[in-house]
Chain A
Amino acid sequence: MTTGQIAALVAVMAVVTFLTRALPFLLFGRGGKPPEVVLYLGRFLPPAVIAMLIVYCYRGATFASPAGWAPGLIAGAAVVALHLWKKNNMLSIVGGTILYMVLVQVVF
């Protein structure tokens, strides 16, 4: 990628992120009331989107050999178990990632 292409991607991410934060102020800053359906989606869409993104993360899984799916499944289960147990973001993320790296580099 050229520097320009990287900068363009970063700029798009920055502008869109800012827009999601600014939109409520632009639309309802002068006393307008947000529609009920917007509030409803704002509450229930995020858990659905996170589930969607987890599927996105696993989109590269293949099933010809265990190496294509087992590391992701094992490390993913470890992240969930660690987080249910200790509730420590850093421990869950770093612990699961190191386990995954060991699995793909050494075990499978």
Chain B
Amino acid sequence: MNRKSLAAAFPHTVPVLMGYLSIGLVFGWMLSAAGFAPTWAAIMSVTIYAGSGQYLGVDLLANASPLGDAAFLTLMINFRHLVYGLSMLEKFQGMGWRKLYMIFSLTDETYALLAGVEAPSDVDAKDFYFTIALLDHLYWIAGSILGAVAGALITINTEGIDFAMTALFLVIAVEQWQSNKKHAPVYLGALGTLACLLLLGPDNGRFLIPALGILVAGLLLLRPLLEGNGTTKGGEGL
């Protein structure tokens, strides 16, 4: 990163700065409210770096979930990343050691920026992409630490703050609903999971494993119906 690429990249990242500071702040606060030291918020944001994944991570930590369950749920919530990588294959070519970091830091927001911006002609494009990715990551870390420290210092009754995870998923669902014309996957996901919950009970979230099986099988059956000109774009944030 140099001064020139920083000057070129920073203005593009301002919307992400606002978003990551606030969403990161809520994450850090939730983690503190669940009883974990601010250091953990920092470690998670440096090493995991995923918005909805880390909200879910608070829930996994608070319930002391088994590692297998944590792996499974993390895989599910981050499955969409598979598609992001596919469209960045060419853009990241020739980036050397920085390519590894570009892959690690490919969040929804960084993906959206990288897919949408062009480097100015007097700035090295690889430096420009790398600077965008690094700035976004720093915003996320800063927001998480701010929230975690605030949550540790300010002692108000935080009962119910874990609802922020539900709220985040509802927001993502609203945005997906508006950007997709076909809603069968949403009905399938809600009804299939509800059926498994009613049959197996809520303990440890184990009902999610058969539910996922139903979702994948259902989507494969619905493929003739869904394929074609059904969607405009992925339409997912965070």
Contact = CB atoms under 8 A, between A and B. Distances in A.
B176 A71 contact: no
B150 interface: no
B27 to A, nearest CB: 10
Contacts of A105: 157, 159-160
A8 B169 contact: no
A51 interface: yes
B153 interface: no
A104 to B, nearest CB: 4
Given A17-B50, A50-B169, A100-B160, A24 B89 contact: yes
Interface string B159-203: 111011111111111111100100101111110111001000010
B85 A46 contact: no
A18 interface: yes
Interface on chain B toward A: helix, strand, loop, or mixed SS?
helix
Interface in A1-18: 1, 5-6, 8-14, 16-18
A1 B187 CA distance: 37
A29 B93 CA distance: 9
B237 A89 contact: yes
A62 B157 CA distance: 23
Contact of B83 (A37, A42, A53): A42
Interface residues of A, number: 67
A47 B170 contact: no
Nearest to B157: A105
Contacts of B141: none
A97 B27 CA distance: 12
B222 to A, nearest CB: 8
Given A54-B166, A54-B190, A103-B160, A39 B64 contact: no
Q: How large is the interface on B (under 10, 10 to 19, 20 to 34, 35 or more residues)?
A: 35 or more
B86 A24 contact: yes
Contacts of B10: none
Contact of B160 (A8, A59, A104): A104
A55 B160 contact: no
B158 A8 contact: no
Interface of A: 1, 5-6, 8-14, 16-25, 28-29, 34, 37-60, 71-72, 75-76, 79-80, 83-84, 89-90, 92-94, 96-97, 100-101, 103-105
B78 A101 contact: no
Interface on chain A toward B: helix, strand, loop, or mixed SS?
helix
CB-CB nearest 3 A-B residue pairs: A51-B189, A24-B85, A48-B189
Given A6-B36, A42-B79, A47-B185, A13 B48 contact: yes
Interface stretch (B1-9, B68-76, B117-125): B68-76
Contacts of A39: 83, 86
Contact of B192 (A24, A34, A52): A52
Given A9-B67, A45-B185, A48-B186, A90 B23 contact: yes
Given A45-B216, A50-B189, A79-B171, A20 B180 contact: no
A10 B57 contact: yes
19 contacts: A9-B61, A10-B40, A10-B61, A13-B70, A16-B78, A21-B85, A22-B85, A24-B83, A39-B83, A46-B176, A48-B192, A50-B172, A51-B186, A53-B169, A55-B197, A76-B166, A84-B174, A93-B26, A105-B157
